[in-house]
Amino acid sequence: MAPFINDSLAEQKPTKFAPWSVEEVLQQLTVDEKVSLLAGKDFWHTRDIPRLSIPSIRLSDGPNGIRGTKFFGSVPSACLPCGTAIGATFDSDLAVQIGHLLGEEARAKGAHVVLGPTINIQRGPLGGRGFESFSEDPLLAGSLAGHYINGLKDKGIGAALKHLVCNDQEHERMAVNTIITQRALREIYLLPFMVATRLAQPAAMMTAYNKINGIHVSEDRSILRDIVRKEWQWDGLFMSDWFGTYSTSEAINAGLDLEMPGPSRWRGPALVHAVSANKVSSSELDDRVRAVLKLVKDSSKAAIPQDAPEMELNRPEDRRFLRKVAAESMVLLKNEDSILPFSPQRKVAVIGPNAKIATFCGGGSASLNAYYAVTPFKGIESLATGGVEFAQGAYGFKMLPQLGKDLTVSGKPGFTLRFFNDPPTTSTRRLLEERHLENSDIFFLDYDHPDLNPIWYAEAEGDFIAPESGVYDFGLCVQGTGRLYIDGELLVSNVENQRPGPSFLGSGTLEETGAKDLVAGQTYRLTVQWGCAKTSIRKTPGTVDFGHGGLRFGGCMRIDPQEAIEAAVRLASSVDQVVICAGLGPEWESEGDDRLSMDLPPNTDELISRVLEANPNSVIVMQSGTPVTMPWADKAKAIVHAWYGGNEVGNGISDVLFGQVNPSGKLPLTFPQRLRDNPTYLNYRSEGGRVLYGEDVYVGYRYYEQTEIPPLFAFGHGLSYTTFSLSGLEVQTQSNNDQLTVHCTLTNTGSRAGAEVIQVYVAPVSPPIKRPVKELKAFAKRFVEPGQSVGVDIPIDLLRDTSFWEEKSGRWCSHEGSYNIMVGTSSSGAHLSKPLALEKTRFWSGL
């Protein structure tokens, strides 16, 4: 077990390296040493040069929590709500506090630089990593990112903004060529990076896997050097995404400073040779080394020891904060007849596939080994003094539920995992190591052992006691090869004829399954025999090779869908207060794989519809990181969107349901009624190695407003248990004519204290080119007591906030003419409006 830190990190003592100067060290480095600094030492660390007192620094995922240095056997961490949940808070101050917690967690894990935040744009609803990013709107995404980064900096921790740029799908992500106009690139996809850089000057940026108009971003001089370095005057470090470096000379000359991870695939002797052949100049090499040295020197000021032990915080104040963020991120989409909040004194029926599982984060590199995670059922049970009853209703999994915690070894929950260099057919094979685990989703990406051969094997074994008699399904997916046995009987083989699937960041197989009749109370021995990735002949083009591979095994008793729904209907009919917990999870939304539809898992829609028919006052709590279809939305009186809410997801849900917290979240994404309504419907996924960003600048609400396609729920929408009104709009010019103050009065016209988000949009009246109807340019969140009013002043920048990218001249253009300043509490509905006239056209560049 990892050591805990209960009070302070002050006892950590820094490694004793003497002070050093970047320029002086640069002059003393040999060419070999310079080259060695331009790639990671291993998966998470930069290279150290002890003779010159240059330490190694640690990088760590990720955007919603700090994993540390291990996918396999990682030290538990705090898990915040996912990126879209943080976006839904529309709260800049909260983003700073999130940065503070992540900074403390990074220090506990010995990490100097956090690989986040993620600020790619959700141009469509199907992106596998859409849940990681803040918003479809670049201003909201960039602003929250800037405050998040400043929170990290307050704790001495650097941030690596990612992924620069247009890393907006997982399909063929390493090879896809993004075809995009310069205008869309500037106004939508680069803008969040620009805003965050202006607000916070991040320590680093991570380049995306994909190409832009034919050139991989990690080799794109026009983006890395011409825009970010020269135009924005940013002097941080460019690092590649993991295995996202594709060349030696091209990447160095474009400005990619650090290849990750190490050991290097592209630098080392190849780069030394390129320097000697003048394919890379000495000055170019020095520029790359200078950026690495600067990051290392700046990071060393945090006084985090080199190769520090990884520890747990898990402090009471952190748990309270995680609960606060979870609750404040939730969006009350509907609340007809004021069904919510519930009374805790009355019985509650909790129904649905997400009720007794803690869907706390999405899948992939954003996933974490959380300290703990509270299920919605447990959260509701903790506050419902009138009693709680449960019905499953339907399963919502994509792969069978993990079995690790349901197995035992000598009465202890979990299973034994053994490591070997030889296959199971070798009777004399020697045991290398043995561990006891509970997590049966095992990714050996960074596993190491001093005696490990290039080809090696593992065996998982534990006892399963059937809780009920019936047919049980068992499943196995692998990156590598594997077989699953019950009492020595081969039930699942995932060796021959393997089918590519989304597991293990897109490098694994689909789950193969088998079934067996089990008897209640009887003990069965489950064994999984696995071979590492090199034992498989299957390779999926366009995916990342993440090394050793992995295995995942699961299982559960088979249920009859109709019988389960009928049981849920009977329960819903017997009580007044019903909560249906449904949605997606980390297997549906994950790095390495995009969704194919917006639909909920099979049988979910039927379950919800049938329960609503039986009890129209049922409340739907939906969990997903991106939009899902809701064909029953018109029937539902109350819908809460709860995202992936981190460690405290269940408590956050219960706080909102019972009115302990008045919801104030707003949608950072437009929820379309149907998949075909979204702007990327005709231009999503890689076709022939390319994806066309055919919607241009009309992303998210910009598209729905331009085409007059009504969404299911609009960008910026979110209700409260109280009501608010806006009045008294004024637009005041400052002494600097480019700075305006938008003033209005916010009044709480209801009976409960609550918070509201004031959203400021700028609408060009008759622009010289086709432009979106309006665009978000500022926002502010204010808490107001019932019956009270507060004045709200929101600054906007007249030059920047009226500009579009003028492609002919390659500059930003603020064009003369009329504009409307529009203020509301959503992108839709009524807005206060004031006209504004610009007397002359101006061009500009830079931040």
Which residue in 48, 241, 446, 677 is the catalytic one? 241
* b/e map 340-365, b = 16+ CB within 10 Å: bbbebeebbbbbbbbbebbbbbbbbb
CB-CB neighbours of 519 under 10 Å = 11
Calpha distance 4→306 (Å, rounded): 19
Task: Count how many Cα atoms sit within 13 Å of the Cα of residue 163 in the half-sphere of its side chain.
Answer: 28
DSSP-based three-state secondary structure for 835 = strand
DSSP conformational letter for 407: E
Checking 249-252 for CB contacts under 8 A at 24+ apart, the result is 249/274, 249/279, 249/280, 250/219, 251/218, 251/219, 252/38, 252/280, 252/284, 252/285, 252/288
Using only the alpha carbons of the chain, give its radius of gyration.
27
Q: Which helix (H) or strand (E) holds 316?
A: helix 316-329
Spatial distance between the Cα atoms of 485 and 482, rounded to a whole number of angstroms: 10
Closest CA to 584 of 339, 404, 396, 721: 396
Burial degree of 596 (CB within 10 A; 0-12, 13-18, 19+)? exposed
- 567 touches 610 (CB < 8 A): no
What SS3 class is residue 336? helix
Tokens coding 217: 């971003």
The Cα 93–Cα 80 span in angstroms is 16
813 and 841 Cβ atoms separated by less than 8 Å: yes
98 contacts 86 by C-beta, under 8 angstroms: yes
CA distance 419 to 438: 16
Q: Residue 24: which H helix or E strand, with range?
A: helix 22-28
Distance of CA 814 to the CA centre of its chain: 34
CA distance 462 to 528: 9
In the residue annotation, 738 being an active-site residue is answered as no
Verify cis geometry, omega within 30 degrees of 0, for the bond prior to 436.
no
* Distance (Å, whole) CA 827 – CA 759: 8
| Catalytic positions, written as ranges | 241
